[in-house]
Amino acid sequence: MFTTASTTPQKILQMFAAILLFAAVMGLILFIASRFTGKRDRAIAALYLLPTVLMLSVGLLYPGLRTIYQSFLDASLKSFVGFDNYTTILTDPEQLTVLRNTAFWVLLTPFVATGVGLVYAILVDKARMESFAKALIFLPMSISYVAAGVIWKFMYEFRPDQQNIQQIGLINQIIVWLGGKPQQLLIDSPLNTFLLIAVMIWIQAGFAMTVLSAAIKAIPDDIVEAARLDGVSPWGMFRFVTLPAIRPSVVVVLTTIAIGTLKVFDIVQTMTGGRFETSVIANEFYSQTFRSDNRGLGAALAVVLFVLVIPIVVYNIRQLRRSEA
Amino acid sequence: MTTAAPLTTTPLSKTEGKKLSAAAMAKKKLTSPWASLAAVIIAVVWTIPTVGLLISSFRPQDDIRRTGWWTFFTDPLVTFENYRTVLDPEKAGTNLPDSFLNSLVMTIPSVIIPLCLASLAAYAFAWMNFPGKNFLFIAIFALQIVPLQVTLLPLLQLFVAWDIDGTFWTVWLSHSTFALPLAIYLLHNFIKEVPSSLIEAARIDGAGHVSIFFRVLLPLLTPALAAFGIFQFLWVWNDLLVSLTFAGSPTISPLTVQLSNLTGTRGTAWYLLSAGAFVSIIVPVTVFLLLQRYFVRGLLAGSVKG
């Protein structure tokens, strides 16, 4: 039951075994809980929380602390090296490229995706077929980053510039139509990093659009109407009515996308594998830990990622609280 | 997290806005053809990449290699051969039907387990009194910010020590664990809104915590469970990092891993990649089209996860 399932019946059987085993544990908890009659809150609460606390301690808390510890060890996690791994991240030219790329990602993606999402949300607001128009932009959000990576890798496909060879990637074809020479889009640095960022923007714009569209619709109509009667221009309407009203939502969207962008791994992994100077922290963590067996450095990269995420999350939660109040 | 809140109020303000909208719309249509044009341009730019690959997946192998997919409109030739090839393990060099099954086998328990555990925990936090309740709740809430990367290597070492590495258990356990903080937080927010008089009434009737949970709360919780369930389903189905770390071997690897490998080994075999990508997209897009409302809510709610 706890071995590798290799045939189809074995896999399905193991899945049902897992669900049954889990149901049995749940049943046991509920059975014991039902034995306690009256107001025995403490005992029952302890029972209800036991599996959760156990799983979070073993599966999140312990590994997190252990990774922090491992970030001070060498490549094979044998001896203590102090802050060497962190020094490497901050001085090694390759790692500096990783940091630079991560900065590009985090600075560009949230603003461009939010900008496009906001413009689109305003343009299609109350338009005919609004929900269909929104679905088009939102669809990329439902597919995996891997599939998105494949879709865009095809867009960027390059064919050598020869007489009888036609381009099959749309971007290069457009370059050719405009009279240019086809480019090895995913190989030329730093252009390739920006082309990968475009994929993330393509995915996240739908998220921004949906949240901001809801915020726009929540603006009270009398405010809009009053401004209209005052003869406010469309731009003035946006600048002095819409934008101030949806500001909290904009901040939440920006920070949320920034957090997601910091952790992005799949797009880089699928499209370039982090080669050609396109690696970012989340991808570098994976390569160092599992491909290069440089585990101390990998752990340090994970910790850096953690440290970078914290301030954004704290800010995000604060804004969320404020917008709720 | 609670970005779900503005969404739930949308239908209301929408009906209020109807009074204006007809006139406003007509006016807008007349005065701003540029606005419509801009919207259409964005929509087209956002749709073309997917459409291009979709069309390619139905073109003959040689055509894909020689000409761009846009020539399809002047030379429409449709074939299902690419799908037949990519689904045939001997021809594709990768076992996509198996990995489709693996994706399903991984995903279903990874949705059920955290949902059940989180409902229990959320119930305890919302309706029971015990020492250290607030501290524990905040601690669980705070765990949401831990990036998965921080946990992966120590977890792998644990799984090896327990001798379950390379099995589905690693994926079920890790995905269930990672889902708990968010699920508890969301369900707790939802349960809190249930009027306490309802619970008190059930208590006076002599119902214990178990029957209150099943008879009173579970039916009320359905929308929240659906929203989170769909979010978690797509999260696990679309995940690459966790599966690559724990389930990278071909026997148990899911679609995302196989597809990602295919881009590495057969990076220019677009007849395989295009069809393969759409095999992996079918399930999430179907879920999206059928359950759009829950889907959007769940996705917004879980947007800072992982």
* Interface list for B 266-285 with A (CB within 8 A): 267, 270, 273-274, 276-277, 280-281, 284-285
d(CA B253, CA B262): 13
Of B50, B85, B120, the one marking the end of a domain is B85
φ and ψ at B103, to 5 degrees? -60, -45
Q: For residue A80, what are the β-bridge partners?
A: A73
pLDDT of residue B217: 82
| Record: contact A214-B7, CB cut-off 8 A | yes
| A318 has a pLDDT exceeding 90 | no
User: Which domain covers residue B118, as residue numbers?
Assistant: 92-301
Residues B131 and B251 occupy one common structural domain:
yes
| Record: contact A59-B151, CB cut-off 8 A | yes
Choose the mutation target among B42, B119, B204, B297 for the interface with A, i.e. most A CBs under 10 Å: B42
CA distance B20 to chain A (A): 8
| Record: contact A56-B240, CB cut-off 8 A | no
Residues B155 and B241 occupy one common structural domain:
yes
Give me the helices (H) in chain B, please: 4-8, 10-31, 33-57, 61-66, 81-86, 89-92, 96-127, 133-142, 149-161, 168-192, 196-204, 209-211, 218-238, 241-246, 255-265, 270-290, 292-301
CB B14, CB A217: distance < 8 Å: yes
Choose the mutation target among B12, B46, B205, B212 for the interface with A, i.e. most A CBs under 10 Å: B46
d(CA B147, CA B144): 8
CB A75, CB A295: distance < 8 Å: yes
- Nearest Cα residue in chain A from B44: A136
| Record: contact A51-B6, CB cut-off 8 A | no
Question: Could you report the per-residue pLDDT of B39-85, keeping only the tens digit for each?
Answer: 899 999 999 999 999 999 999 998 898 888 998 888 888 899 999 99
Mean pLDDT in residue range A80-84: 92
Residues B221 and B254 occupy one common structural domain:
yes
For tokens 């006076």, the residue is: B204
pLDDT of residue B175: 95
Q: Confirm or reject contact between A7 and chain B (CB < 8 A).
A: no
Task: ipTM value, please give it.
Answer: 0.88
Cis peptide before B97 (omega within 30 of 0): no
Residue predicted with more confidence, A220 or A104: A104
| B12 has a pLDDT exceeding 50 | no
Q: Point out the residue among A26, A138, A146 whose CB comes nearest to the CB of B240.
A: A146
Residues B57 and B99 occupy one common structural domain:
no
Q: Confirm or reject contact between A211 and chain B (CB < 8 A).
A: yes
d(CA A300, CA A43): 41
Q: For residue A73, what are the β-bridge partners?
A: A80
Residues B119 and B68 occupy one common structural domain:
no
| Record: contact A151-B53, CB cut-off 8 A | yes
Contacts of A49 in chain B (CB under 8 A): 120-121, 124, 136
**Sign (positive or negative) of CA dihedral B198, B202, B208, B214:** negative
DSSP codes, B202-260: HHHTT--HHHIIIIIIHHHHHHHHHHHHHHHHHHHHH--HHHHHH--STTT--HHHHHH
CB A222, CB A130: distance < 8 Å: no
Residues B224 and B110 occupy one common structural domain:
yes
Residues B26 and B134 occupy one common structural domain:
no
| B297 has a pLDDT exceeding 80 | no
Q: Assign domain A84-324 to its CATH superfamily.
A: MetI-like (1.10.3720.10)
- The reply to whether B306 falls in a domain is no
CA distance A74 to chain B (A): 14
| Record: contact A64-B17, CB cut-off 8 A | no
Contacts of B270 in chain A (CB under 8 A): 154, 157, 168
Q: Could you tell me the pTM of the whole model?
A: 0.88
CB A180, CB A301: distance < 8 Å: no
Across all residues in chain A, what is the average pLDDT?
89
What is the domain-level CATH number for residue B256? Answer: 1.10.3720.10
| Record: contact A5-B109, CB cut-off 8 A | no
d(CA B163, CA B143): 27
* Interface list for B 52-71 with A (CB within 8 A): 52-53, 56, 64-70
Of B85, B110, B132, the one marking the end of a domain is B85
| Token pair of A135 as six digits | 């679905």
For chain B, how many structural domains are there in total? 2
Q: Confirm or reject contact between B137 and chain A (CB < 8 A).
A: no
Cβ within 8 Å of residue A6, ≥6 positions away: B251, B252
- Nearest Cα residue in chain B from A300: B150
- The reply to whether B275 falls in a domain is yes
For tokens 């929540």, the residue is: A218
Residues B23 and B145 occupy one common structural domain:
no
Question: Could you report the per-residue pLDDT of B71-127, keeping only the tens digit for each?
Answer: 888 888 889 999 999 998 888 888 899 999 999 999 999 999 999 999 989 988 988
Q: Confirm or reject contact between B151 and chain A (CB < 8 A).
A: yes
Residues B74 and B120 occupy one common structural domain:
no
| B288 has a pLDDT exceeding 90 | no
| Record: contact A166-B66, CB cut-off 8 A | yes
- The reply to whether B30 falls in a domain is yes
- The reply to whether B2 falls in a domain is no
Query: Chains A, B: CB contacts under 8 A, how many?
Result: 356
Of B85, B108, B126, the one marking the end of a domain is B85
Question: Could you report the per-residue pLDDT of A167-189, keeping only the tens digit for each?
Answer: 999 999 999 999 989 999 999 88
Question: Could you report the per-residue pLDDT of A273-282, keeping only the tens digit for each?
Answer: 889 999 999 9
| B21 has a pLDDT exceeding 60 | no
Residues B119 and B259 occupy one common structural domain:
yes
Residues B221 and B256 occupy one common structural domain:
yes
| Token pair of A280 as six digits | 């970012």
| A53 has a pLDDT exceeding 90 | yes
Q: For residue A45, what are the β-bridge partners?
A: none
